[in-house]
Amino acid sequence: MKNNLKVERAIKNITQEELAKQIGVTRQAINSIELNKYVPSTILALKLSQYFNKTVNELFFLEESD
Amino acid sequence: MHYICVVDLKLKCMKTKILFPNHFKRIGWFILIPSAILGILAVFDVFKFEFLGKATMFALYSDDFPGGSTVFGFVKNNISDEILGILCIIGAILVAFSKEKHEDEFIAKIRMESLVWATYINYAILIFCMLFFYSIGFLYVMIFNMFTILLFFIIRFYYLLYRSNKSMSHEK
């Protein structure tokens, strides 16, 4: 699974730290999601979608290998 | 039609009931470190609480080689190693299973993976020792093996936390 969290974060001009604080997770979690090392839970994905005001499909995409 | 419910964005810190509160971790270290050091000395007969003398303890079963065995009876025993062993386990459990300051689903995943990893490593080492240690040598292996699964877990868990912290330092 891929995501464009980093892009969305850049558009909003917000750091990983700040985003993590807003959503209520660790900065490691945000960092690992951006590096495609961690697939967030549905709850976390929905929280992110709400924060960026985008649908989950606009933030996360399936890959060939999924 | 699509409703966006206005809820607090913050993830309500994963409601894990099976972990101890964060401040128990520090208590765990205070118990674990001294009792582990004294425990290792006790295993090799370098140390025991002499003042405890020999206490009369209830035993479900005790095999007093070369004397007979006791079933559902009382035995005399210096309980230094029992006390140290129990303290080691309590300390290690508190260190291993207290929440991090900020516990979230990512930390939970690291914890779970570390536990699986520790179990594999622990039993791989045990299998190796079964083949290469015998008699009293194997008894020593068994004594340490009682604690190593927790030890491997603690090492692996903190290593993975450290690594994920480090991979972050060059990200903005």
- Report pLDDT digits (tens) over B83-104: 999 999 999 999 999 999 989 9
Alpha-carbon radius of gyration of chain A: 11
Check whether the bond before B66 is cis (ω within 30° of 0).
yes
> Taking a C-beta distance cutoff of 8 angstroms, is the pair B77, B39 a contact?
no
Structure tokens at B163: 């690594």
Spatial separation of the C-alpha atoms in residues B17 and B72, rounded to whole Å: 37
Per-residue pLDDT, B137: 93
ipTM value, please give it: 0.87
Total-model pTM: 0.85
Residues of A in contact with B105 (CB under 8 A): 25, 29, 40-41, 44
> Taking a C-beta distance cutoff of 8 angstroms, is the pair B105, A44 a contact?
yes
Question: Chain A 27-56, CB below 8 Å of chain B: which residues?
Answer: 27-29, 31-32, 34-35, 38, 40-41, 43-44, 47, 50-51
In tens, the pLDDT along B38-68 reads 999 998 888 888 888 888 899 999 987 777 8
Spatial separation of the C-alpha atoms in residues B123 and B148, rounded to whole Å: 10
